């Protein structure tokens, strides 16, 4: 079986804002392959090119050169997204619809039969604890509830690949735990998870492999355990070293899970 996510020499350029500013390279020569059943952490500082790469994978942005594939299908084909679930960092849903209506709308897009859609919607609303609010418009939900709607819609098609963009940002500890539980459950079911996060402790806990990109280029890729063993430190320290955190900076002051324990 080929890779679930594959990037081949991906390059993305943007027209920089402002006259005479030319073009900005957001991603440069990125090669990446994620196999089935892996939980893959995609890391990098702000502006590193993570979101741009995800945008290419999801078809929001076209690559300047190179290619991107999901399940071996070019991401420019909508069918490549039939088996994926996507949870954006923030909630971007039709606020005039209720959670149930929104899920029913997406179920129609996935072509789910009515009975199957009903069954999945009931199960997911129970999973994200929104059963009692299912008929209320999303605009009346709290932020946490809206995030949970996002999680439900990402799981609606029982995806083989889940793409999560900062899935725990803005969530309370309970919400974070819920997301971690779901990632773990998906991992146990043999699903592939591709996610970006700044929560490096969390990444170290749940990911099999990570890639760290900086200034649009891949700096490190490998199994979390191998990286930790090789560098004899935790993922956060590895990350800071790779992105060129100043040597004179008081790294020792940054509490790390390893030191804390």
Partner 1 sequence: MNTVLALAGVVIKELYRRKDFYVLFVLTAVITLLLGSVNFFGDPKIIRYLKDVVLLLIWISALVIAITTAARQIPAERENRTIFPLLAKPVSRGQVIVGKFAGCWLACGMVLAVFYLVFGIITGSREQHWPLLSYLQCVGLQWMMLGIVVSLVLLGSVIFTAPSSNATITFVVVVGILLLGRHLNQVALQHTEPLRSMVYTIYFLIPHLEWYDIRDLITYDQKLVPWADCALATLYAAVYTALLLFAAWVVFRRKPLNL
State the binding string over 111-150 for partner 1 (x if CB under 8 A, else -): x--------------------------------------x
Residues 197-256 that bind partner 1 (CB under 8 A): none
The nearer residue to partner 1, 138 or 227, going by C-beta atoms, is 138
Cα within 13 Å of Cα(146), Cβ side:
19
Q: How far is CA 10 from CA 28, 49, 114, in A?
A: 6, 11, 39
The nearer residue to partner 1, 96 or 126, going by C-beta atoms, is 96
Cα within 13 Å of Cα(74), Cβ side:
6
Q: Residue from 30, 32, 163, 211 that binds partner 1 (CB under 8 A)? A: 163
Q: Residue from 78, 190, 246, 252 that binds partner 1 (CB under 8 A)? A: 78
Nearest CA-CA partner of 106 in 154, 161, 58: 154
CB 4 within 8 A of CB 186: no
Interaction of residue 110 with partner 1, rule CB under 8 A? yes
Question: Site for partner 1 (CB under 8 A): how many residues?
Answer: 36
| Contacts of residue 70, Cβ cutoff 8 Å, sequence gap at least 6 | 4, 5, 6, 57, 80, 81, 83, 84, 161
Stretch that binds partner 1, among 49-57, 114-122, 176-184, 211-219 (CB under 8 A): 49-57
Binding site for partner 1 (CB under 8 A): 14, 51-52, 55, 58-62, 78-82, 84, 86, 88-90, 92-97, 101, 105-106, 108-111, 150, 153, 163, 165
């Amino acid at each position: 079986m080929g890779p679930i996510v594959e990037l081949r020499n991906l390059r993305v350029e943007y027209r920089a804002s402002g006259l005479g500013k030319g073009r900005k390279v957001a991603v440069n020569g990125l090669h990446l392959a994620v196999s089935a059943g892996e939980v893959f952490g995609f890391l990098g500082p702000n502006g590193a090119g993570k979101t741009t790469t995800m945008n290419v994978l999801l078809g929001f942005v076209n690559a300047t050169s190179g290619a991107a594939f999901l399940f071996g299908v070019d991401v420019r084909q909508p069918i490549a997204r039939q088996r994926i679930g996507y949870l954006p960092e923030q909630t971007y849903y039709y606020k005039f619809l209720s959670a149930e209506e929104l899920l029913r709308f997406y179920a129609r897009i996935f072509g789910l039969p009515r009975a199957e859609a009903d069954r999945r919607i009931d199960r997911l609303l129970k999973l994200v604890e929104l059963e009692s609010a299912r008929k209320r418009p999303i605009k009346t939900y709290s932020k946490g509830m809206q995030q949970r709607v996002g999680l439900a819609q990402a799981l609606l098609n029982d995806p083989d690949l889940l793409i999560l963009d900062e899935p725990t940002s803005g969530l309370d500890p309970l919400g974070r735990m819920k997301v971690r539980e779901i990632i773990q459950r998906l991992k146990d079911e043999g699903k592939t998870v591709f996610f970006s996060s700044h929560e490096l402790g969390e990444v170290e806990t749940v990911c099999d492999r990570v890639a760290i990109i900086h200034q649009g280029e891949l700096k490190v890729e490998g199994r979390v355990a191998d990286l930790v063993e090789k560098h004899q430190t935790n993922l956060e320290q590895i990350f800071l070293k790779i992105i060129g955190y100043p040597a004179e900076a008081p790294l020792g002051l940054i509490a790390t899970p390893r030191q804390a324990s």
